[in-house]
Structure 1
Amino acid sequence: MIVDQDKQPRRSDGVKKRTQILDATIQLIARKGIRGASHRAIAKEAKVSLSATTYYFKDLNDLISASCMHFASQGLDEIKQLGQTSRKTLDALGSGQGQGARKKLVSSISELLLHHVTEQVKDTQRRRFEYAFQNEALQNERLAKEWLLFQESHINLNKQLLQLFGSSNPQADAHLITACIRHIEYQLVVDKRGNIDQSMVAEMIQQLIKSLFTVNG
């Protein structure tokens, strides 16, 4: 479980201000990277006093770490929503057997993942923050632990979904899907020339799901 270690406000206005600071930190890091973050720059971005950032967070490392955990928590909520949609899709498909049923299953999973990827890359700010978080984890041991927890939580949720869909090896498949989706999202965010279009993304996702569920044709 991801738990913040900094000062936790009790009053609603304190919670609001702390969240405001965390959201501003995410926005700033998405634009300038973690190296561009400072208490002063974050306070300006959040439109709060400099003392407010030092009141809720004892130092800059705490503030950056808390912003990563805040981001991770929001990301897990998005995956949980995908899980709820997937369960509804599975219920609608029923428990059919055979190659035809599996093709329908693959098609449905592929469409869900394509929609998920499309929505994720629309929010380039959050994706840029995510990549900054990932890169900084290579240098920062505390952030490395948070990043691994973030990744593990995503993989576990994907594993649960794959178990529902009847994967023969949900643990390995969860790692494969997570890695593939992150790669596709990254390519879409950094590709300014449009070398990867929607049809190519759909083809990559469908090919991945076909290989996992061994559907021919």
Structure 2
Amino acid sequence: MARTNVRKSPKGEQTRHKILDATIAVIASSGIKGTTHRAVAEQANIQLSLTTYYFTDIKHLVREAMELSAIRFVADNSNQWLQGFALIDSYSAADRRKLSVRKLLCEQLADLASRHMYDNIINRPQALAVEQIFFTEMMFSDELREIAHSHIYNLKQPFTKFCRYFNRVDPNVNAELMMIAFTRIQYMYLPLPPQSVKMSEIRMLVKRQLSWVMGLKT
């Protein structure tokens, strides 16, 4: 288990977070099987003895690093969702039923969502890579499965809220499909070099998904 007494000093907490950040980077580049105390120590540029002191169990270190990565990823997404919901709420419910308004809103939301997804791909590839590994490894680990299910639940909540604006019959189904589509779009571009990632292509895919949820013909 991880040692808890080291959390009492600010320097100890700083070192601990440095180890977790390094672990996230190693998981993203080498997967869980390639994540060892030595690999983490080299990534963090610290002594091997420090990683084993703060985290004696490599499984606990991997679990905590994945939890931290998931928390950060959801927080980053939440800020964008707040902007999206503020934009939707700037129109009245009556206005949102008008085709012209929904078309305009779809364009605005497509701009917002595609910019954020592009930013994730270019500037937060580690978080996306760790999440992808997360969902793959959950099939083989009960411990990671629990965290992954919690992460999926947290990711899905804003999608469900969004879908309720335009479909009160089965928003959960639409939210599930929308979340899968948005996640898949980001994973699809993740292996490409940055110069090959085109925001116009991402926007086209995002707009198609939004149009479907919002009841617009594509």
Aligned pairs for 1:123-202 (under 5 A) are 123-163=124-164, 165-168=165-168, 169-191=170-192, 197-202=198-203
Which of 44, 47, 61 is the aligned partner of 1:46?
44
Aligned residue identity for 1:42: V
Aligned partners of 2:128 and 2:113: how far apart in 1? 16
Aligned partners of 2:158 and 2:8: how far apart in 1? 31
Deviation at 1:53, TM superposition (A): 1.7
- State the SS of the aligned residue for 1:215: coil
Question: Which range is displaced more, 177-186 or 83-92?
Answer: 83-92
Aligned residue identity for 1:118: Y
Structure 1 equivalent of residue 98 of structure 2: 98
Aligned-residue CA RMSD (Å) = 2.3
Aligned partners of 1:213 and 1:73: how far apart in 2? 29
Which of 65, 68, 72 is the aligned partner of 1:70?
68
Aligned partners of 1:90 and 1:14: how far apart in 2? 44
Question: Would the alpha carbon gap of residues 92 and 193 (structure 1) be closer, same or farther in structure 2, given more than 3 Å must change?
Answer: closer
Deviation at 1:215, TM superposition (A): 1.6
Question: Would the alpha carbon gap of residues 107 and 69 (structure 1) be closer, same or farther in structure 2, given more than 3 Å must change?
Answer: same
Deviation at 1:93, TM superposition (A): 3.5
Structure 1 equivalent of residue 80 of structure 2: 82
Aligned residue identity for 2:181: C
Checking the alignment, whether the CA contact within 8 Å between 2:137 and 2:144 is kept in structure 1 is: yes
Structure 2 equivalent of residue 31 of structure 1: 29
Question: Would the alpha carbon gap of residues 24 and 157 (structure 1) be closer, same or farther in structure 2, given more than 3 Å must change?
Answer: same
What TM-score comes out, normalization by structure 1 length? 0.86
Deviation at 1:94, TM superposition (A): 4.2
Unaligned runs of 5+ in 2: none
Deviation at 1:130, TM superposition (A): 2.2
Aligned partners of 2:61 and 2:196: how far apart in 1? 37
Identity percentage of aligned residues: 21
What TM-score comes out, normalization by structure 2 length? 0.86
